[in-house]
Amino acid sequence: MKLNHGLHLAYCTNIHRGEDWAQTLDSLNRFTLAVKQRVCPSAPFAIGLRLSDQASRELSEPATLTAFRHWLDDRGCYVFTINGFPYGRFHGGRVKEQVYAPDWTTRERLDYTNRLFDLIAHLVPEGIEGSVSTLPGSFKEFIRGEEQLAEIRRNLCLCVDHIARLSERTGRTFHLGLEPEPLGLFETTQETVAFFDRIVAQRPGDQRVLHHLGVNYDTCHLAVEYEQPRDAIRRLQRHGIRISKLHLSSALKVSPTPEVRRALAAFADDVYLHQVIARTGTSLTRYRDLDLALANAPADDEEWRIHFHIPLHCPTSALFGDTSDHLLGVLELLREDPTLCSHLEMETYTWEVMPVEMKNRSVVDQLVGEYDWCLARCREHRLTS
C-alpha cells in the first residue's frame, strides 16, 4: 500500500505455503485478498511476493504471467518487491541451513534471481522501483576458501549486468538487496561493508554496481547482532551502499534465567534455524541454533537475542521481550529522511512454528494485526496519514 513520501508497504507472502505457482496463487486468493479487504479495501494493495524457483518458472510462461497481471489489476493489487531468498521449499519440513542452498556460488542461484527480475519488470507499476531480496551470498559454514568467495562476487556482478540491461531497456529502476543474517556469509554491517568493498574493487569505476546492488536491511537480524540503527545505517551510507528494502520484523530478546530457558524450548522447532547471540558485558557468543544455546550456554549470560521472527503486535511478557526498539529506530531515521528507502515489507514467516499461545487467531487476523501495529507506528513517525 502507498504511504507518504512515495513509500510502499507490503507483507511478505513467505508466511504462506506455496512451492509451485498454483499453490502460490491459491494463497493469494485465500489469504492476501482477505487481508486487503480488511486493511485497505478501496485502495491499491501492495503484495510482497515470495516465489520459489519452481513457481518462478511456471509464472514465466507468457499466458500465466499475462493472467496474473490481469488478476492484479482486477483485484486492485500490485507487486513492487519479490523475496528471492528461499529457493525451494520453505514450509512443512526441515529447512534450517538449506534455506541458503543453492547459494551464490552456483549458476542456479544466478539464473533464478535473474528470472525474478524479468518477472518484476512485467509486474511493477509505472513510476515505482522494483526490488528483489536474496541471501547474503552464502552460509558461513558453506565457505571453505577464497575460490568460493570469488565465485560469489562474480555471479553477483553478472546479476548486476542483467539488472542494468533490464533497467536500460525498460527505463525503470531495479535493485537487488543482499540480506545480512546471523551466521550468513556477512551478518554485521561491518562485514557487509567489507563484502561490498571487495565487489566494488572488482569493478572499478562501474557505477552500476552500487546503483543496482544494495542491502535488504532486516530489523530483526541487525537487532540480533546488537547493532544500533543509526550507527548501522550511517555505516552503510558512508560506503555508498543502497538500502534496497527494509524488512520490518522483530526478534526474541530475553534474560536467560532458568525459567526462561525452560520456556524457550517451545521455540526450538525443527524447521528453521534460530541463531542465538548471547551477551555478557561486551562479549558476544554465537550459537548456530536455539537448541544448542539451551544445551551449552553458560548460566551467567546476561541477554540472548534469538533469530525468531515474532509478530510485531505481540505484547512482551515477564519472560519474553522483543527488539521492536530497533525497528522504531529505523522508522525514526526514515522520518528524518524518507528517501532512505521506499520499500517496506513486514516479514513474520514463522507463523506455523510459533508456540500455540502466540497464534491463537487465524493467519488473516495475525496479518491484520501486523498492519494495525505497523501503520500506527508509521503514523507516529508521520510516514502515513
What is the pLDDT of the chain when averaged over all its residues?
96
3.20.20.150, 3.40.30.10, 1.10.10.10, 3.40.50.300: which CATH number matches 4-249+322-380? 3.20.20.150
Task: Give Rg (Cα) of the chain.
Answer: 20
Q: What is the pLDDT of residue 300?
A: 94
Distances (CA, A) of 193 to 62, 155, 228, 336: 39, 18, 16, 23
Q: Which grid coordinates belong to 93?
A: 519440513
Kindly tell me if the per-residue pLDDT of 215 is higher than 90.
yes
Does the pTM of the predicted model rise above 0.85?
Answer: yes
Q: What is the pLDDT of residue 35?
A: 98
CA 281-230-223 angle, 5° bins: 50
Q: Measured between alpha carbons, how far is 379 from 375 in angstroms, rounded to an integer?
A: 6
Is the separation of the CB atoms in 251 and 304 below 8 Å? no
Beta strand 283-287 pairing with 276-280: antiparallel
Which residues share a beta bridge with 177?
A: 133, 214
Q: Model confidence over 325-373: pLDDT tens digits?
A: 999 999 999 999 999 999 999 998 887 888 887 877 899 999 999 999 9
Q: What is the pLDDT of residue 107?
A: 98
Residues in the chain, total = 385
Kindly tell me if the per-residue pLDDT of 203 is higher than 80.
yes
Q: What is the pLDDT of residue 224?
A: 98
Kindly tell me if the per-residue pLDDT of 13 is higher than 90.
yes
**CA atoms 263, 269, 272, 277: torsion sign:** positive
| pLDDT level of residue 95 (50, 70, 90 thresholds) | confident
Spatial CB neighbours of 171, under 8 Å, sequence gap ≥ 6: none
Kindly tell me if the per-residue pLDDT of 76 is higher than 90.
yes
Burial 108-134 (b: 16+ CB within 10 A, else e): ebbbbbbbbbebbbbbbeeebbbbbbb
Higher pLDDT, 350 or 179: 179
Report the share of the chain in percent with pLDDT over 70. Answer: 100
Q: Measured between alpha carbons, how far is 39 from 356 in angstroms, rounded to an integer?
A: 25
**Cis amide linkage into residue 44, ω under 30° from 0:** no
Kindly tell me if the per-residue pLDDT of 289 is higher than 80.
yes
Q: Model confidence over 98-124: pLDDT tens digits?
A: 999 999 999 999 999 999 999 999 999
Q: Measured between alpha carbons, how far is 213 from 202 in angstroms, rounded to an integer?
A: 14
Q: Measured between alpha carbons, how far is 181 from 253 in angstroms, rounded to an integer?
A: 16
| pLDDT level of residue 374 (50, 70, 90 thresholds) | very high
Q: Which grid coordinates belong to 23?
A: 499453490
